[in-house]
């Protein structure tokens, strides 16, 4: 038996609508997936605090606080400062300072070995001097640019 033209038309229409529905489903699924991924990345960005690179001024302030807290006093010259820093959880601050400033203090302070207050003070002083030097260079560069800007504006 042969199909009538109406049946053929309806079969073709049904197949076309089915194919269109399938394509729409795939498109919709991909779009929803992309929206979910975008939303997840936004949520992760909100929940994950941005790693801030400490500025030279922040590092100098931290060093000053550590120097005041662990100052060399009579009786502490030979005391193990590593244990005191671990107990007060300030050893991580010293390690973060060393990593963020890229100053080699391994000859003075090695977190895996005991060190005394004088070694800690010398290490902190070395980092502080390097940070003050960086800060001074930045200030001098800023002043140089500020001085060069008016001269450029005056000469046509």
Verify that 66 and 133 share a domain, yes or no: yes
pLDDT at residue 153, as a whole number: 57
pLDDT at residue 24, as a whole number: 96
Overall number of domains in the chain: 2
Verify that 117 and 91 share a domain, yes or no: yes
Task: Return d(Cα 121, Cα 29) in angstroms, integer.
Answer: 61
Which structural domain range is residue 45 located in? Answer: 1-50
pLDDT at residue 25, as a whole number: 96
Q: What is the mean pLDDT of the chain?
A: 85
Which of 153, 50, 67 has the alpha carbon at shortest distance from 117?
Answer: 67
pLDDT at residue 9, as a whole number: 93
SS (H, E, C) 93-111: HHHHHHHHHCCCCCCCCCC
Verify that 46 and 95 share a domain, yes or no: no
pLDDT at residue 59, as a whole number: 87
Which of 67, 62, 69, 122 has the alpha carbon at shortest distance from 96?
Answer: 62
pLDDT at residue 101, as a whole number: 82
The confidence band for 86, taking pLDDT boundaries of 50, 70 and 90, is confident
pLDDT in tens, 25-79: 999 999 999 999 999 988 888 887 666 777 888 888 988 998 888 888 887 777 7
């Amino acid at each position: 038996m042969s199909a009538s033209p109406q049946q053929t038309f309806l079969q073709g229409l049904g197949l076309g609508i089915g194919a269109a529905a399938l394509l729409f489903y795939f498109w919709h699924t991909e779009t929803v997936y992309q929206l979910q991924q975008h939303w997840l990345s936004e949520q992760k960005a909100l929940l994950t605090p941005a790693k801030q690179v400490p500025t030279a001024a922040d590092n100098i302030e931290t060093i000053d606080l550590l120097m005041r807290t662990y100052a060399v006093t009579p009786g502490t010259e030979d005391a193990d400062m590593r244990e005191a820093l671990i107990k007060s959880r300030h050893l991580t601050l010293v390690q973060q300072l060393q990593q963020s400033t890229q100053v080699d203090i391994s000859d003075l302070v090695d977190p895996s070995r005991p060190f005394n207050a004088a070694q800690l003070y010398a290490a902190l002083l070395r980092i502080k001097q390097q940070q003050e030097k960086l800060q001074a260079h930045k200030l001098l560069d800023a002043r140089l640019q500020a001085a060069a800007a008016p001269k450029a504006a005056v000469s046509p």
